[in-house]
């Protein structure tokens, strides 16, 4: 797949503080790229560099095969984490202003705003002042303004903050729909369940360095520990733990079940066969539960950050 955006060895210092150190990321066309990292890791700085708000000290940004140009702002839609609207301005007027700043003509802006307002069921708000809106409502307006000019690259920094679950879902579906229509999405968040749901690719930044990068599925494969969650109703429950302990690396676990069974996490060697394990367990009794433990994005995040 072709890359829409490449950041090559981007570094940025603020005085003595190093915000980004030689960061390289590649964002594939039509993918959802998750930019993760603890607070203060440098994510926002990287996003600002991509948006040409801040200039990098070293390195370059390539958009669609060409170095980033000031005119490229019309190809990028950015929803910053610190976002707001003019409080005393009317919603419609404000949207028109922001859309025109992005290079849309008056009539284009109006037409598209009508479409989006209807789509997000906010068409009654055109003449309301922003200060009359709730936080969630204002977030919807900001979302519309970000995507209105149909940019090929959409950047969302914590897009779901301030939304109730219903509206968060609505926005999530809109983001995925935009991806399906061909947009590429960079997505920065702390909410790991939305990373899990939406991202094809992730990069983890910690203390201004990139410490993890790749397809989410590959990373998960790399982080799996050959551990299986097992539920067993043994024929002979005595000594079963010792028997298992002799053969495997086990630990106790608990999961919800309707059976009254013994619950273990069993870790096998990488070259051991899973089939052998299942066969062996069935000889001990009734196997009621057998699931591979797949590391969640959350686990990976915590583990990698801790190890660095």
Partner 1 sequence: MNHLSLIIKREYLTKVRNKAFIIMTFLSPIIMVAIITLVSYLSQLNNDTVNTIEVLDESGVFFNHFENSKTLKYKLINGVSLEDAKFASEKSNNYGLLYIPKKENIDQYANTITFYSEDSPSISIMRSIENSIEEKVNTLKLQEAGIDAKLIEKLRIKVDTNLETFAGEKTSKLGSGLKLAFGGIAGYLLFMFIIIYGNMIMRSVIEEKTSRIIEVLISSVKPIKLLLGKIFGTTLAGITQFTAWVIIMILLSSVVSTIFGIDTTAAQTPQQQELLQESGGSQQLISEIFLEINNLPMTNLVIMFLFFFIGGYLLYSSLYAAIGAAVDSETDTQQFMLPILMPLILGMYVGFFTVIENPHGTVSQVFSYIPLTSPVVMLMRIPFGVPLWQQILSLVILFATFIATVWFAAKIYRVGILMYGKKASYKEIIKWLKY
The CA distance from 161 to 190, in Å, is 10
Please choose, from the candidates 53, 50, 52, 58, the residue with its C-alpha nearest in 3D space to the C-alpha of residue 26: 50
Does 124 sit near partner 1 (CB under 8 A)? Answer: no
The smaller minimum CB distance to partner 1, of residues 120 and 130, is found at: 130
Please choose, from the candidates 203, 212, 180, 220, the residue with its C-alpha nearest in 3D space to the C-alpha of residue 29: 180
For residue 15, which phi and psi values (nearest 5 degrees)?
A: 60, -120
User: Measured from the CB of residue 165, what is the shortest distance to partner 1 in angstroms?
Assistant: 24
One residue of 139, 142, 188, 227 binding partner 1 per CB under 8 A: 142
Does 255 sit near partner 1 (CB under 8 A)? Answer: no
One residue of 2, 66, 70, 124 binding partner 1 per CB under 8 A: 70
Q: Find residue 14's DSSP bridge partners.
A: 17
Does 86 sit near partner 1 (CB under 8 A)? Answer: yes
The smaller minimum CB distance to partner 1, of residues 85 and 199, is found at: 85
One residue of 62, 89, 176, 211 binding partner 1 per CB under 8 A: 89
Does 97 sit near partner 1 (CB under 8 A)? Answer: yes
For residue 236, which phi and psi values (nearest 5 degrees)?
A: -130, 105
Does 71 sit near partner 1 (CB under 8 A)? Answer: no
For residue 283, which phi and psi values (nearest 5 degrees)?
A: -70, -25
* Residue 91 in tokens: 């919603």
The smaller minimum CB distance to partner 1, of residues 146 and 227, is found at: 146
Residues 6+ apart with CB under 8 A from 265: 227, 228, 229, 230, 250, 251, 252, 253, 293
What are the residues binding partner 1 (CB under 8 A)?
Answer: 14-15, 48, 51-54, 70, 73, 76, 78-80, 82-89, 97-98, 100-102, 106, 142, 145
């Amino acid at each position: 797949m072709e890359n829409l955006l490449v950041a090559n060895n981007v570094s940025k210092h603020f005085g003595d503080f190093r915000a980004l150190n030689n960061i390289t990321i590649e964002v594939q066309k039509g993918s959802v790229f998750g930019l993760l990292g603890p607070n203060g890791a440098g994510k926002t700085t990287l996003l600002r560099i991509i948006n040409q708000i801040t200039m990098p000290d070293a390195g370059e940004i390539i958009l669609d095969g060409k170095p980033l140009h000031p005119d490229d702002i019309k190809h990028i839609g950015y929803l910053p984490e610190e976002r707001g609207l003019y409080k005393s301005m009317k919603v419609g007027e404000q949207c028109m202003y922001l859309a025109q700043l992005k290079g849309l003509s008056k009539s284009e802006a109006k037409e598209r705003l009508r479409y989006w307002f209807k789509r997000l069921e906010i068409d009654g708000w055109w003449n309301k002042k922003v200060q009359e809106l709730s936080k969630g409502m204002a977030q919807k307006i900001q979302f519309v303004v970000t995507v209105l000019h149909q940019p090929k690259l959409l950047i969302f920094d914590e897009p779901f903050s301030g939304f109730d679950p219903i509206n968060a879902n609505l926005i999530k579906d809109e983001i995925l729909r935009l991806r399906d229509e061909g947009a590429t999405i960079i997505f920065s968040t702390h909410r790991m369940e939305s990373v899990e749901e939406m991202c094809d690719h992730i990069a983890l930044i910690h203390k201004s360095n990139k410490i993890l990068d790749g397809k989410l599925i590959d990373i998960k494969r790399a982080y799996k520990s050959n551990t299986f969650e097992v539920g067993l109703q043994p024929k002979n429950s005595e000594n079963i733990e010792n028997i298992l302990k002799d053969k495997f690396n086990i630990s106790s676990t608990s999961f919800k079940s309707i059976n009254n069974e013994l619950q273990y996490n069993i870790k096998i060697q990488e070259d051991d066969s899973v089939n052998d394990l299942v066969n062996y367990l069935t000889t001990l009794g009734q196997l009621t539960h057998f699931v591979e433990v797949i590391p969640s994005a959350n686990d990976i995040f915590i583990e990698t950050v801790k190890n660095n």
